[in-house]
Amino acid sequence: MRPSRSQAEQIEVFWSKTSKAKSGCILWSGAVMADGYGIYHFLGKAYRCHRLSWILEKGGIPEGMCVLHRCDVPLCVNPKHLFLGTRNDNNQDMVAKGRASRHGRRLGCGVHAKKLDAASVVKMVDQKRLGKLSQREIARRAGVSDATFRAILKGKVWSHVTKIKP
């Protein structure tokens, strides 16, 4: 049986499982739950990664409060992109940013047969903005069609992640 890690070691491991995106997001690259949010076990308890980031950098989360994303990227753990709000604030934020389901259809990570996740969509858009790879090559590497990538760039899909509005 391996000895348990100290709090400092666990914090170091947590941050080692992140990477910075051109957008300013700090993206979680560890375990991800079905809803698209990262999960990490810290001191014997499972935390959603954005909530743990808030706790580590800003302190506790008051009872009944949610940790919301300014950037609207579920895998982002950048404390500068996070803010506290009530459940109602969270729901209003979701509607305002167009993440609520449309006509009963789920969006992005909520789609059962998805090939992409939020982190890969952000990476694809960043690669396009850098201009080093063709649109076709970016789509091929991501395992999606040119049409899917065009829809992302036009804001028809994944706009809740990319900030590109239709």
Structure tokens that stand for 123 in this block: 């990476």
pLDDT at 54: 97
What are the tens digits of pLDDT across the range 56-77?
999 999 998 999 999 888 899 9
Torsions phi, psi for 58 (to 5 deg): -125, -10
Residue 38 DSSP one-character state? B
pLDDT at 165: 61
Task: Tell me which of 35 and 55 has the higher pLDDT.
Answer: 55
Global pTM exceeds 0.85: no
Q: Is residue 12 pLDDT above 70, yes or no?
A: yes
Residue-wise burial string across 78-104, b where 16 or more C-beta atoms lie within 10 A, e elsewhere: bbebbbeeeeeebeebbeebebeeeee
| DSSP string across 126-151 | HHHHHTSS-HHHHHHHHT--HHHHHH
What are the tens digits of pLDDT across the range 106-140?
444 444 445 777 788 888 888 888 888 999 999 88
The dihedral built from the CA positions of residue 63, 69, 73 and 78, taken in this order, carries a sign that is negative
